Structure 1
Amino acid sequence: MTADVLLTGARIPGVDGAHDVLLRDGRIAAVGPTGSVDARSASTAGGDGVRVAHLDGRWIVPGLWDQHVHFTQWAQTARRLDLSHAHSAAEAADLVRDRIAAERSAGAEAEEPLVGFGFHDALWPDQPTRALLDAAAGGREVVLIAGDLHCSWLSTAAARRFAPDTADDPSAAVLREDASFAVTSMLSAADDATLDRWAAEAAEAAAARGVVGIVDLEYGWNVEVWRRRMGAAASGAARSLRVEFGIYPDDLERAIAAGLRTGAAIGGTDGLLTVGPAKIISDGSLNTRTALCVGAYPDGGHGVANLSTAELVQWMRLAASNGIEPAVHAIGDRANTLALDAFEEVGCGGRIEHAQLLDAADVPRFARLGVTASVQPEHAMDDRDVADVLWRGRTGRAFPLAELHASGAVIAFGSDAPVAPLDPWIALSAAVTRSRDGREPWHSEQALARDAALRASTRSHIGLGEPADIAVLDADPFTCRSADLRGMPVAATLLGGRFTHDRVGWV
């Protein structure tokens, strides 16, 4: 049995005065003005006593959640070639050439493929061709993954290994949607033990930003991956997050046969691992011009529907009827209309992931149908220039957070890491300011108030009986400068009353 924890001298944003908060058995056992909780009598009988943390006026908020991540890819991203600042295909190829030359000079050329991440080709002045990448790769297997995860650019050597049907087709240098997902799901630069160590480091870094939970939508069968990471032999860092794992259509019948239901805890993980939603990808992405839209892109296309309406309904009905919440990826306005139509036909609630471009008539349907808008506010900052070109004249309906909130919709923030960093303060800042890097706000009428943005980043509140999942901050998120939200200093994080991050030294 662990010790009780008494947080004393804490301030709660929007509430007057300092407070004491007692944490016991994973829950908030008492909240009151400072001095009102007797630490000497607070400890649980037979426990390890009470640990007192003097917060000295620091602020406490519920622990933060990132409700859309691809965690294994995020854990690997820091070790991949960064292409996010490449302004052309030629510049990206030069980065590949430089990395390979540096590895050779250091005598450390790897046998594994060189993987790059983060390019955005929608506004490139040139085309990502097989010949261009081959010239830079020098026979090396090279896979470059777009920043939105929806396409990848392969050298001939990489295509022979990961997509042999395309190796002799120079026009297939860039793979999109399912073909690209198939390649990226096969990429692994390390064995399970190494990947798990990287995942533990990423979890520890997330805890340092006040994160207590994630919804992991990594492609594949992730229940065993997380069971291994959270097992008795796992390091403490691997157990510093609550994880809800997603299920894709390829594994849906397997999950049903195993009796998995959304919200159910997985044994052997101390309740940290639970079943998440069934993710169904209905369209593509903005940067790849595959998000399904009513209006045309400059090239005349309207995007792609990965599933027919009947197929979408079939998958959603199969999931919902077996207790697994549907989560439909929909970015374009036409895709969102079709997804909401499908929720209405199936007669269930669930989530729409992204909801980036919405028809005005569809905004109130989220609340009416009980569909959560699972959104990634930082994407608005990443995509504003591309959207102004590809969705010209329609960006007033892009990332309409204020309208969704006013309509009564439940909003859940995420990062889509590695598309954006796994840091809810970045998402919260983007939602509140609609700005980054000192630029003018982009459609400021769609900005959220700070309290609404915080609710979209959390799943509980500071109150009796609530989970003892708490972030301790060095600044008040409701009154600090808007520019400081993005880098909010986090002094400590507690998960179920257990410190997972402690910068001050309370443990």
Structure 2
Amino acid sequence: MKMIARTFTASLLLLTLSPALVLAKSTLIKNIQGYTIADNKLSQFSAIAFTNDKIDKIYSASEPLPSHKGLTIIDGEGKTLLPGLIDSHGHILNYGLSLLRADLVNSRSEQDAVNKTLAYAKANTTLTWIQGRGWNQSQWPSNAFPSAKSLDALFPDRPVWLKRVDGHAGWANTKAMALAGINKDTVSPEGGEIIKDSQGMPTGVFIDNAMALIDNSIAPLTIKQQKQVLIKAMDSLASYGLTSVHDAGIDRENLLAFKELSQENAMTIRVNAMLYLPSPQWQQTLAQGHYRSPDDMLSFNSVKIQADGALGSRGAALLADYSDHPGHKGLLLNTPAAFEQLVQTSMAHGFQVNSHAIGDHANKLVLDSYEKLIKASDSKALRHRVEHAQVLRLEDIPRFAELGVIAAMQATHATSDKNMAQDRLGPNRILGAYAWRKLLDANAIIAAGSDFPVESPNPFYGLHASITRQDHDNKPQGGWFAAEKMSAVEAFRSFTLDAAYAGHQEHIIGSLAAGKKADFILLDNNLFTIPAENIWQINVEKTWVNGNLVYQK
């Protein structure tokens, strides 16, 4: 993998002095199998020309190509070129941190996760806290939450804090709990749960809002440290063919770090940031209004509000009991009144509201609030969103199009959750879960993403899951609830033009046309001709953002 230098000092100096002095840099990429969405259908082309950050023209096979002096010509060698892919829901800082912490994604058991954490700790002896992410008890033989005891055996004196794969649960050892002041008498906070044993002692597992009890004991990153982590993350994301990401839940300091990177011309990919509510100084940040960098590499015009937790940790808020946990309906992370107040305040400030909702109770709550407040604020044009829209009542599905609300969904959640989702939901509720086809047939817009680092950021995993409803072993045969599949063109659109629309950026990115930004990727295989079961194996060979080559294999 080779990352390309981000800055060109001479060009920046010229730009600072006078835009008229900047020398145009024109490039033609020919001999390609190009695809984009045009006039609401898939369109093919064989060459693309661009100058600096803008596309000049795309060429069909029958059109003559330019060859003027000073034109840089690149032979695409017959490879596939697509618009840069857009992830409408990821977590850039957390992804960068996951690259620097114990990786527990493929742990086969609780003890395997402990052993992986120990290997990481031995390789990072200077760290005060040992942190990791990625465990998933639903994939272990025990199918049970882990405990502090297994960590204590190997980490009696160093605090350990390991986040679940979905980021909605954490696993701590006794040392970490002691530093956080957690004991038998500690009460679970609103919207969270401290798992306790039969004697009332904390087991080491903290759900949703209770995780803050441990998080608050760990020193926060400085702005300089955040910038280093963000650069590492963005470089990695570009290697997967992502040219733009909607960062789903940042705070004021994280936004400041992005602004500094933007001003330093150090951003590899575009970022559309959502401010997490509530977070420190969120009211003051909203009062300052929208932000858009001159080169459109950074945009801030939306907020992220969480209605509930996740299905895997049984934190998703359901209207009826979990099918595999009688007496438990999950967690609302804000009271309905508090949630509605956050939405109302955001709409009043002119911000797009993007609400995390997994369970059918949370989704109904969000849609009910939207229906009331969109009308009161006359803010339908802001294109409010439901992040995940994972478990829906069938009667709520038509409400998305009716309200002009976008479903920001992650296809790989379905293929990851298929082994436990029906156990959690039962045979009836599952019919409204991961219901891509039902939503599309009801004229809803789906903006695709991955929710990295919960899932891999690789968009070809998401395209594969959207089209096949299968895992990488091509299981189950025919696809999981195959009636909900998307076509190849629908899936492609959900990662390009519709994701751009969800970020109010369809006029500059999401498709390839004259005047739009020069964001595109070159692949080693053809998304539209390769057997569907192999889509997840497609690799990105080159990535251009704003006309700059930012990655090449």
Which band: TM-score by shorter chain?
0.7 to 0.9
SS of 2:400's equivalent in the other structure is helix
2:53 match: 26
Task: Say if 2:153 is the partner of 1:153.
Answer: no
The alpha-carbon distance between structure 1 residues 425 and 307, as it changes in their structure 2 partners (threshold 3 A), is same
The alpha-carbon distance between structure 1 residues 11 and 85, as it changes in their structure 2 partners (threshold 3 A), is closer
CA distance in 2, matches of 1:120, 1:56: 43
Whether contact under 8 Å (1:252, 1:278) holds in the other structure is: no
Q: 1:199 aligns with which of 210, 230, 248?
A: 230
Give 1:91 shift. 4.0
Whether contact under 8 Å (1:212, 1:495) holds in the other structure is: yes
CA distance in 1, matches of 2:129, 2:418: 32
Task: Say if 2:444 is the partner of 1:418.
Answer: no
Q: 1:373 aligns with which of 383, 407, 417?
A: 407
The alpha-carbon distance between structure 1 residues 486 and 410, as it changes in their structure 2 partners (threshold 3 A), is same
User: What's the CA shift string for 1:390-432, capped at 9, x where partnerless?
Assistant: 1221323221111111211111111111101112111111111
SS of 1:29's equivalent in the other structure is strand
Whether contact under 8 Å (2:95, 2:453) holds in the other structure is: yes
Q: 2:271 aligns with which of 240, 243, 246?
A: 243
User: What's the CA shift string for 1:287-331, capped at 9, x where partnerless?
Assistant: 111101123112221111122322222111111111111010000
CA distance in 1, matches of 2:548, 2:305: 35
Q: 1:327 aligns with which of 330, 354, 360?
A: 354
Give 1:341 shift. 0.8
Q: 1:139 aligns with which of 133, 154, 157?
A: 157
Give 1:266 shift. 3.8
2:39 match: none
1:164 match: 181
The alpha-carbon distance between structure 1 residues 400 and 296, as it changes in their structure 2 partners (threshold 3 A), is same
The alpha-carbon distance between structure 1 residues 278 and 194, as it changes in their structure 2 partners (threshold 3 A), is closer
1:44 match: none
1:406 match: 441
User: What's the CA shift string for 1:443-480, capped at 9, x where partnerless?
Assistant: 11111101111111113222222222111223221111
SS of 1:66's equivalent in the other structure is strand
Q: 1:292 aligns with which of 308, 317, 329?
A: 317
1:214 match: 245
The alpha-carbon distance between structure 1 residues 466 and 16, as it changes in their structure 2 partners (threshold 3 A), is closer
Q: 2:34 aligns with which of 12, 29, 32?
A: 12
CA distance in 1, matches of 2:232, 2:276: 26
CA distance in 2, matches of 1:171, 1:379: 30
- Correspondence list, 1:271-286, <5 A: 271-286=296-311
SS of 1:500's equivalent in the other structure is strand
Q: 1:56 aligns with which of 77, 82, 87?
A: 77
Give 1:436 shift. 1.1
User: What's the CA shift string for 1:68-97, capped at 9, x where partnerless?
Assistant: 111111112123222223344344334444
Which stretch shifts more, 29-38 or 423-432? Answer: 29-38
Give 1:241 shift. 0.5
- Correspondence list, 1:301-450, <5 A: 301-347=328-374, 348=379, 349-393=383-427, 394-438=429-473, 439-440=475-476, 441-450=479-488
Q: 2:494 aligns with which of 456, 470, 479?
A: 456
2:207 match: 176
Q: 1:75 aligns with which of 80, 96, 107?
A: 96
CA distance in 2, matches of 1:16, 1:466: 16
Q: 1:119 aligns with which of 132, 135, 140?
A: 135
CA distance in 2, matches of 1:386, 1:463: 43
In structure 2, the gaps of 5 or more residues are 1-21, 37-41, 187-200, 501-509
The percentage of aligned residue pairs carrying the same residue is 25
CA distance in 2, matches of 1:178, 1:406: 36
Which residue type is aligned with residue 40 of structure 1? Answer: H
1:257 match: 287
In structure 1, the gaps of 5 or more residues are 42-48
1:45 match: none
SS of 2:28's equivalent in the other structure is strand
CA-based RMSD of the aligned residues comes to 2.5
1:488 match: 538
Task: Say if 2:263 is the partner of 1:231.
Answer: yes
Which residue type is aligned with residue 437 of structure 2? Answer: A
The alpha-carbon distance between structure 1 residues 117 and 292, as it changes in their structure 2 partners (threshold 3 A), is same
1:478 match: 528
SS of 1:427's equivalent in the other structure is helix
Whether contact under 8 Å (1:243, 1:273) holds in the other structure is: yes
The alpha-carbon distance between structure 1 residues 317 and 203, as it changes in their structure 2 partners (threshold 3 A), is same
Give 1:206 shift. 1.6
CA distance in 2, matches of 1:86, 1:322: 44
CA distance in 1, matches of 2:202, 2:182: 12
CA distance in 2, matches of 1:168, 1:309: 28
SS of 1:312's equivalent in the other structure is helix
The alpha-carbon distance between structure 1 residues 185 and 4, as it changes in their structure 2 partners (threshold 3 A), is farther
TM-score (norm. length: structure 1) = 0.88
CA distance in 2, matches of 1:60, 1:430: 21
Give 1:214 shift. 0.6
SS of 1:435's equivalent in the other structure is coil
Which residue type is aligned with residue 177 of structure 1? Answer: D
The alpha-carbon distance between structure 1 residues 189 and 224, as it changes in their structure 2 partners (threshold 3 A), is closer
CA distance in 2, matches of 1:462, 1:246: 26
Whether contact under 8 Å (1:211, 1:424) holds in the other structure is: yes
2:504 match: none
Which stretch shifts more, 478-487 or 24-33? Answer: 24-33
SS of 1:173's equivalent in the other structure is strand
Q: 1:110 aligns with which of 126, 141, 151?
A: 126
Q: 2:551 aligns with which of 483, 493, 501?
A: 501
Whether contact under 8 Å (1:425, 1:485) holds in the other structure is: yes
| Count of aligned pairs between the two proteins | 481
SS of 2:463's equivalent in the other structure is helix
User: What's the CA shift string for 1:352-380, capped at 9, x where partnerless?
Assistant: 01111111111111111111111111111
Whether contact under 8 Å (1:13, 1:478) holds in the other structure is: no
